[in-house]
Chain A
Amino acid sequence: MENLVNIFVKSVFIDNMIFAYFLGMCSYLAVSKTVKTSTGLGIAVIFVLGFTVPVDYLIENFLLKEGALVWLSPKFADVDLSFLSFIIFIAVIASMVQLVEMIIEKFSPTLYNSLGIFLPLIAVNCAILGGSLFMQERAYNNIAEATAFGLGSGVGWFLAIVGIAAIREKIRYSNVPDPLKGLGITFIITGLMGIAFMGFMGIKL
């Protein structure tokens, strides 16, 4: 349990998707104009990351990894399909996004309406594929750890986009040099936020 909390906190603060790896920057920059919409997108990302990382973990460990197919027949002990992982992960993500969309539509139409357009966009959000690829690279021990990592990364992304949206709402009233307006200042603020987040480095639970 302690280990899970550790992975969660680590992926929220230290290995933050945006500040440490710049993943999902496209939608981060495009959708962070108001707090309301960015909250919606952030929640959707938490959802999708929380679903896809464990699913991809299962696929990776029971289908793709070298020797992962042994459960079918011992003959497959040295089949290594990991070169297929990109294409399979992206397919999983695209279908998971569809699935999550349908589930939300069925059970919570209000949430669906507020997320609306953002859900399909998430399929091409680098943070999602990045989550799966990092999961593959770091080789977590079991599915619980992978889930903790997925949820943590989602929450970290959520914090980052809501934070920048709040700052951008305020910055409209300040006197930014003309050429820096819009995109430029957003980049620089993100950099400063990243430096602030680096203060969490070295935390161990």
Chain B
Amino acid sequence: MSAEKEPLFSGKNLKLLTEPLNDSNPITVQVLGVCSALAVTVKLKPAFVMALSVVVVMAVSNVVISLLRKTVPPRIRIIVQLVVIATMVILVDQVLKAFVFDISKQLSVFVGLIITNCIIMGRLEAFALSNKPWQSFLDGIGNAAGYGVILLIVAFFRELLGSGTIWGYKVIPESVYDFGYENNGLMILPPMALIVVGAIIWIQRAKNKKLVESN
């Protein structure tokens, strides 16, 4: 507790929140959590639910681990982390099943896969184990939001180009179809998610030169 009177939203703390949105985005820069991310991006709605679930799991487990960080012996920390994450994921899964059953069916195994989502383990290891609860909370929200933003962008393009809808509403008018426009069926297929993410990385790095890799 060095800076006891540090305001809750000091510059340093805000940075924890905003940095993952761009410069250290979990998906495009840290390459964490790609696993369960891409399969749920065919439509905007499941992608949003998924992003929200990750935010909840991430924020809570970050805080819990941060509170426990002085009592857990380092040798068993991985199993403790897994237990905390798995408990949170079970809770989220039960809530989804109870309130949005059809979306929970669409997400199928991917809710469960939040447990092994490297983004959560990665942030717990890298941040929550050595920081105070409030900072860990912000870090969790920030990283999960960075993950969610990519998810939503990918889902937006895939739904718009693949099914001509956004959030389930038709946005491309009938008259365009009459001219011979057709939905791009390829966008719904899994490989296109990878290519869309590749394109996002390309755009981001073209704007932000310091992220460019050497090979």
Contact across chains for B34 and A22 when beta carbons are under 8 A apart? yes
- Check if A70 is an interface residue, CB within 8 A of chain B: no
- CB pair B116–A125 under 8 Å, yes or no, is yes
State whether A126 touches B86 (Cβ < 8 A).
Answer: no
Residue B205 at the A interface, CB < 8 A? Answer: yes
Check B90 for interface membership: any CB of A closer than 8 A. Answer: yes
Nearest chain-A residue to B212 (Cβ)?
A178
A151 CB to nearest B CB, Å:
19
**Which residue of chain B is the closest to A185 with respect to CB atoms?**
B198
Task: Quote the shortest CB–CB distance from B204 to chain A (angstroms).
Answer: 8
Contact of A137 among B82, B108, B192 (CB under 8 A): B108
Instruction: Return the chain A residue nearest B83 by Cβ.
Output: A87
How many residues of chain A are within 8 Å of chain B by beta carbon?
Answer: 50
| A-binding segment of B6-14, B25-33, B134-142, B159-167 | B25-33
Interface contact B37-A191, CB-CB below 8 Å: no
Digit string of A113-135 for contact with B (CB within 8 Å is 1, else 0)?
00000000001111111100110
Residues of A within 8 A of B31 (CB): 26, 29-30, 183
Q: Which residues of B contact A187 (CB under 8 A)?
A: 194-195, 197-198, 201
Question: Does B60 reach chain A (CB closer than 8 Å)?
Answer: no
The distance from the CB of B71 to the nearest CB of chain A, in whole angstroms, is 21
**Chain B interface size range:** 35 or more
With an 8 A cutoff between CB atoms, is A71 at the interface? no
Chain A residue, CB-CB nearest to B121: A124
Residue contact B109 to A137, C-beta cutoff 8 Å: yes
Question: Is B36 a contact partner of A191 (Cβ separation < 8 A)?
Answer: no
CB distance from A164 to the nearest CB of B (A): 11
Known contacts A187-B198, A187-B201; is-contact A126 B116 (Cβ 8 Å) = yes
User: Within the complex, what minimum Cβ distance (angstroms) separates B68 from chain A?
Assistant: 17
Which residues in A have their C-beta under 8 angstroms from that of B34? 22, 25-26, 29
Question: Are B86 and A87 neighbours in the complex by a CB distance under 8 Å?
Answer: yes
Measured between alpha carbons, how far is A186 from B180 in the docked complex, in Å? 34
Q: Taking the complex as formed, is B168 at the interface, i.e. its CB lies under 8 A from any CB of chain A?
A: no
- Spot the interface stretch: A43-51, A57-65, A99-107, A192-200: A192-200
Q: Is the CB of B87 within 8 A of A87?
A: yes
The reply to whether A129 and B201 form a contact with Cβ atoms under 8 Å apart is no
Extra 6 A-B pairs, beta carbons < 8 Å, given A22-B34, A22-B39, A130-B109? A21-B39, A26-B34, A130-B35, A133-B112, A136-B109, A187-B201
Q: Which A residues form the contact surface with B (CB < 8 A)?
A: 19-26, 29-30, 83-87, 90-91, 94, 123-130, 133-134, 136-137, 172, 177-188, 190-195, 198
